[in-house]
Chain A
């Protein structure tokens, strides 16, 4: 007599329940995902020493009013929610940008009613193969542009310096 794939009691080939199979598949998928997150996706070794670094982000040509809510002591986050450290200083300067003159030359000129903001950050950081990883996973590089957040602000800034 041929065995049915799923018998009348919901067991595959009369041995293991369909529900048990689903649960086992879910459990295996979860184990694989956790393994991938902590052993494959993580770029840094947990054995690398963590030091505090200082880095600076420049936000260009913003309205002065927008800087009122940027303060030392605020925490900075990446757009995906990674904690990127604490703001230690907010330096506001008149905005300047390159502009082409009618004779074709480029000069650095003021931007009316706008300011450039230099945000200094302190954060725990790992240095692995010369690369800086804030909070173990978020790599920072000079000249890279990032979308950043505080509780009260969102902006795009460029990392301009990293100091150990």
Chain B
């Protein structure tokens, strides 16, 4: 007899009311997530665009800029987002702020053996009224730290400039 079978399986029968309740529960959970995630700001619309922004790599060893070529595809080093393609490279003497105790000021002091590199990057982006995202997850904002890798090189710095779409 089926009742005495050692591998008796528990049957879960769903009737139409169970299905309706499950659908309501899923809808309620979605509403809960919507309310608590902060994504409920009215009219959050997004659009595809192209963003041009500049990353400044501070304290890169001399010669690093020579490794960077126009057209290089760059990745963000932590989550490996594709953050765009190099469209421009500039470099200058690396500096750091130090205190001048004699004159009572802070000065940008040259750092021997290091250069500061500005990389202009272009990337397809998703733009909302709150942020600009490239590579499926990297949010581009001036002031944001970034760790960049390219073909054969890497560096850390900050986003220092974004070309605003509104002029």
Contacts and interface: CB of A to CB of B under 8 A. Distances in A.
Interface of A: 6-10, 17-20, 23, 26-27, 30, 33-34, 37, 61-63, 65-66, 68-69, 75, 77, 80-83, 97, 99-102, 107, 109-114, 149-155
A66 B100 contact: no
B79 interface: no
A99 B160 contact: no
Given A69-B161, A69-B164, A102-B101, A151 B35 contact: no
A10 B104 contact: no
A61 B162 CA distance: 19
10 contacts: A19-B12, A33-B36, A66-B143, A77-B130, A99-B104, A107-B104, A109-B103, A109-B104, A152-B141, A152-B142
Contact of B8 (A8, A17, A80, A153): A8
A153 B141 contact: yes
Contacts of B28: 26-27, 30
Contacts, number: 121
Interface in B25-48: 25, 28-29, 32, 35-36, 38, 41
Interface string B86-125: 0000000000010111111111100000000000000000
Interface stretch (B14-22, B60-68, B70-78, B148-156): B14-22
A26 B21 CA distance: 11
B103 A151 contact: no
Contacts of B162: 69, 152
B36 A110 contact: no
* Interface residues of A, dominant DSSP: mixed
Nearest to A111: B106
A127 to B, nearest CB: 24
Contacts of A113: 108
B106 A110 contact: yes
Interface residues of B, number: 41
Given A65-B160, A99-B100, A23 B25 contact: yes
A40 B135 CA distance: 39
A85 to B, nearest CB: 14
Nearest to B36: A37
Contacts of B41: 81, 83
- Most central of A83, A97, A99 by chain B CB within 10 Å: A99
Contact of A63 (B22, B107, B160): B160
B85 to A, nearest CB: 21
A30 B160 contact: no
Contacts of A100: 99, 101
B133 to A, nearest CB: 11
B101 A17 contact: no
Across the A-B interface, the 5 shortest Cβ-Cβ residue pairs:
A10-B12, A109-B105, A109-B104, A111-B106, A107-B104
Contacts of A152: 132, 141-142, 162, 164
